[in-house]
Amino acid sequence: MQSIQRLIEIMRALRDPVSGCPWDLEQDFQSLIPYTIEEAYEVADAIERHNMVDIKSELGDLLFQVVFYSQLAEEQKSFDFNEVVQSICDKLTFRHPHVFSDAKVASAKEQTKEWEKLKQIEREAKSGEDTNLSYLDDVSRTLPSLMRAEKIQKRAAREGFDWPDIKGVIDKVHEELQEVQYELEADKQEYARLEDEIGDLFFSCINLSRHAGVDAEQSLRKANLKFERRFRELEKKVKAKNLPMKEMNSNELENLWKSVKSEE
């Protein structure tokens, strides 16, 4: 608690109108958004690199974002850091009655269902008299599109709007791919239609990963890292041939790429 209090005091000093840091004084809720997103991704990167020193450091940076927002809210007399902590404590105890009261759950799967029921109660409480309440409410529009698509699909599936098995999803992926191909082969290509069909294809692929029990964001992140690793090795092989990559034909590059893959 002393460490937290010290961090809060540092934040107040940074925001002091007379002696504070000019950069920190210029910030507001909106301007901090890109930094918060960046810090969250840096935590994920440190975890994937299994670097505990960096994980500790990046978590500190992320915590600072929470303290920064709390300070801004305190200046506006909206809430403070203690109220943020109290809010999450209340939320966690409410959503875990099997831990903090006498409710019982038989498995993690059952607990997830109960969690969603409790979240829906919270959404209804927030909506008040709003009759247009949706199970898609509170799926943040600022999430990365891939993550948001997965969340939307999960919410719809919990209400019964889903394919009965993975075969239907695979067929849908093939259908969407054919529609993309149709637009690409059209005599007069329309960007808006092509964009729409490729978007549908992406959405179906995310649905496929969900049905397969694979985290779409994580799988794509790993695919990015794998491609980067292999491309760097490809660059080394091309450099050994003393040829610019752009001057090599597709067959030569494909053979080198296969060589890189076989060596892993």
pTM of the predicted protein model: 0.63
In terms of domains, do 16 and 44 share one? Answer: yes
pLDDT in tens, the chain (264 residues): 789 999 999 999 999 999 999 999 999 999 999 899 899 989 988 998 899 999 999 999 999 999 999 999 999 999 999 999 999 999 899 888 888 888 777 777 777 777 777 777 776 776 666 667 787 877 888 788 998 999 999 989 988 999 999 999 999 999 999 999 999 999 888 999 999 999 999 999 999 999 999 999 889 989 999 999 999 999 999 999 898 999 999 999 999 999 999 998
In terms of domains, do 223 and 208 share one? Answer: no
In terms of domains, do 233 and 157 share one? Answer: no
Amino acid at 248: M
How far is 3 from 10, CA to CA, in rounded Å?
Answer: 11
Q: Is the dihedral of CA 166, 169, 171, 174 positive or negative?
A: negative
In terms of domains, do 164 and 197 share one? Answer: yes
In terms of domains, do 30 and 42 share one? Answer: yes
Q: How many domains does the chain have?
A: 4
In terms of domains, do 83 and 104 share one? Answer: no
In terms of domains, do 71 and 102 share one? Answer: no
In terms of domains, do 127 and 138 share one? Answer: no
CATH of the domain at 193: 1.10.287.1080
Amino acid at 193: R
In terms of domains, do 9 and 20 share one? Answer: yes
In terms of domains, do 86 and 102 share one? Answer: no
5-43 confidence digits (pLDDT tens): 999 999 999 999 999 999 999 999 999 998 998 999 899
**In sequence order, which ranges of the chain are alpha helices (DSSP H)?**
2-14, 22-26, 29-48, 52-75, 81-95, 97-100, 108-127, 145-158, 166-185, 191-211, 216-240, 250-263
Residue 6: give the domain boundaries.
Answer: 2-92
In terms of domains, do 68 and 107 share one? Answer: no
In terms of domains, do 222 and 206 share one? Answer: no
